[in-house]
Each structure stands twice: as structure tokens, then as C-alpha cells.
Amino acid sequence: MIMRVLGEGQYEITEGHLDHLNELDSALQTAADTGDEAAFTSALSALLDAVRSLGTQLPDERITPSDLVLPDEATSLAQVRELLSDEGLIPG
């Protein structure tokens, strides 16, 4: 799966890491649902850090369609709420 972090680049994530990323996404969803800014900031940071550490960053010159686009760390709670589906940012 190819995930894009806005303003940063694309990462290739193997199927084996999706369960962990979904757990982090669930924490983000909960923080957004409750409007807890501190928990939201922490959860978004943890999710993006995991994508960066578990994924392989693709070279900028390689243009590949993204399966999923994630907001950057500067994205507000209100903006992320607009992106969230019933499954969070990461389906599954």
C-alpha cells in the first residue's frame, strides 16, 4: 500500500504493518470524536511517525498513485474531522 503524507512524500507500507497502523488510527478517531486536542495531536504524531518508521519512503522522482493520503502534523483537528470516515483515515 502506498501512503502519502501531505507535504512530505510517499511511503510503501507492507500488509503486515496495517493492523498496527489501524490501532493508531483508532486512537486518532477517538481523540477527534471527543474533541481532545492534546490526545489528537499525540495520536496524529504517533500515526505519522509509525508510517515513517515502518514504511519505505519512495523517491520523489517516482510518481505512483497513492492508495491513501494522510494529513501532515500541522493539520487541525477540525480539518482531520472532515477527512475521517467511519473507519478513520485508514480503512480496514
Residue with cell 490501532: 23
- Backbone angles phi and psi of 19, in degrees to 5: -60, -45
Q: Rounded to two decimals, what is the model's pTM?
A: 0.87
pLDDT at 24 over 70: yes
Has residue 90 been placed in a domain?
no
- Residue 38 structural domain: 2-83
Number of domains in the chain: 1
What is the share, in percent, of the chain residues with pLDDT greater than 90?
64
Strand, coil or helix: what is 47?
A: helix
Comparing 10-14, 29-33, 50-54, 82-86, the range with the smallest average pLDDT is 82-86
Closest CA to 81 of 35, 21, 46, 39: 35
Q: Residue 85: what pLDDT?
A: 64
